[in-house]
Structure 1
């Protein structure tokens, strides 16, 4: 018989729980676009309605490996987020700000 996750977690040692929490945070910090949408509790149809496009368009965007920043920005904004472009180097990170001129495209679609 399957055990509840809460029971399994309760039986874990404190270091094991900390390691599990750490791994979960890493997994949540990086995810494909379709998983992000699902984590935000949105269906493709719901997102399509916000963006004023058809549901197949959302499916197509989520499968792309290359897209315009404006397309990605509108997708993220439709989910209630904000897109930042950050370049990471061994000696530090820099937020690229010349894309901020693109403005909010979610409301103009």
Structure 2
């Protein structure tokens, strides 16, 4: 038996709703490239056309665990985003801007 999630959420306490909202935000804040592309509503073929490459190149890129920042930046920009590199330390975070001017 399926249930409407919105109705289930309405039955949750405000604290549980807030906890669920935080967890959802955390989960959406981290995802692999292929999930990000899918969340943006793009197919590999469409992204390949924007980047002027073949679809298998996108599939290969999405499986990589190591790549140049410039490659990642082009990929993110093709999806309509902007890549930021941030170093996080116990006493704060610093945005690294050396990479912004690369083209």
Instruction: Compute the TM-score of the two structures, normalised by the length of structure 1.
Output: 0.90
SS of 1:99's partner is coil
Any unmatched runs of 5+ in structure 1?
Answer: 104-109
* Per-residue Cα deviation, 1:27-71 (whole angstroms, up to 9, x for no partner): 111111111111111111110010011111101111000000110
Deviating above 3 A after TM superposition, structure 1's stretches of 4 or more consecutive aligned residues are none
Gaps of 5+ in 2: none
How large is the Cα RMSD of the aligned pairs?
0.9
User: How many residues are treated as equivalent by the alignment?
Assistant: 103
- SS class of match (1:38): helix
Which whole-Å CA distance do the structure 1 matches of 2:101 and 2:2 have between them?
53
For 1:18 and 1:94, locate their aligned partners in 2 and report how far apart those are by CA, in whole Å: 29
